[in-house]
Amino acid sequence: MGENAVVFKGTKEGLYIFIKEEMNLDNIKDNLNEKIKPAKRFFEGAKIVNFKGKRLTKEEFDELKSLVENDYGMSVLEEYSQDTDILSDKEEIKESASYEKLPYDNVIQDKVLIVRATVRSGQLIEFAGNIVIVGDVNPGAQIKATGSIIVMGTMRGVAHAGSNGDYGAFVSALNLLPAQIRIGDIITRSPDGLGIRTSVPEMAVVKRGMILVEPYLPNR
């Protein structure tokens, strides 16, 4: 079951739950529980505009709304409508078609900012999407993205991925030595599992409500 089959994603309208079209109701509920339970206190009181991605029946909508509201203290702002688009517009449907048939679970479509430079102390790079740094991020520099952060070099500054509440976002680097990593509202600082030089590229992800660092090519 793909860990990005259900994704919390912030947009200009607010927070949505995006669901893969091929998911059945039981799998959707399982994925929601896996996402929310480890970080339940961070989701309490959250306001969800609506569900997107999969076109839900009225019964499916009601069950999912009941789950997030009654079990986790969240609220769904919009009511069910058969006219709700599967995605936000026809252009998104067109763009998504190019990757939906790829034989991978963890394929993410989002805007990407690529920076070919060293990010120096005092600099802030903030972007609504994913950020790729082809270079180093020095101590005192900050990278903030609504999506994931990838550093093709050494990461020594502060990284905040999933800044709009996407706990499926990650931070990865060829040499991961950050002063602080934040994913959604979960924060960890050196030396709490970070700041230890290794010989392999690493990725910081949220698991069981904590930020864990692991090799991003575990079989190599």
Check residue 207 and give its pLDDT. Answer: 83
Strands (E), the chain: 6-10, 15-19, 47-53, 75-76, 112-115, 124-127, 130-133, 142-145, 149-155, 158-161, 171-176, 180-183, 186-189, 202-207, 210-215
Reported residue count of the chain is: 220
Could you say which of 67, 96, 125 is where a domain stops? 96
Check residue 120 and give its pLDDT. Answer: 94
pTM above 0.85, yes or no: no
Contacts by 117-125 with C-beta closer than 8 Å and gap 24+? 118/153, 119/143, 119/157, 121/157
* Binned average pLDDT, 10 residues per bin, the chain of 220 residues: 66 76 88 80 79 88 92 88 52 45 61 92 93 95 95 95 90 94 85 58 87 77
The amino acid sitting at 46 is A
Check residue 73 and give its pLDDT. Answer: 87
Tell whether the torsion through CA atoms of 62, 87, 96 and 172 is positive or negative.
negative
Q: Could you tell me the two tokens for 138? A: 């020095």
> What CA–CA distance (Å, rounded) separates 74 from 15?
11
At 148-171, the pLDDT tens digits run 999 999 999 999 999 988 888 999
The reply to whether 25 and 72 lie within a common domain is yes
Q: Domain total for the chain?
A: 2
At 76-107, the pLDDT tens digits run 988 887 655 444 444 444 444 444 555 556 66
The reply to whether 91 and 122 lie within a common domain is no
The reply to whether 207 and 118 lie within a common domain is yes
Check residue 190 and give its pLDDT. Answer: 61
> What CA–CA distance (Å, rounded) separates 180 from 122?
15
Find the DSSP H helices in the chain. Answer: 25-36, 40-43, 58-66, 90-96
At 64-73, the pLDDT tens digits run 999 999 988 8
Check residue 85 and give its pLDDT. Answer: 47
Cβ(51)–Cβ(22) below 8 Å: no
Omega of the bond leading into 218 within 30 degrees of 0 (cis): no
Residue at 71 is within a domain: yes
The amino acid sitting at 83 is D
Backbone angles phi and psi of 93, in degrees to 5: -65, -45
> Residue 41: which CATH number?
3.30.750
Cβ(151)–Cβ(172) below 8 Å: yes
Could you say which of 96, 125, 144 is where a domain stops? 96
> Residue 210: which CATH number?
2.160.20.70
The reply to whether 155 and 188 lie within a common domain is yes
Residue at 103 is within a domain: no
Determine the structural domain holding residue 138 and report its residue range.
112-215
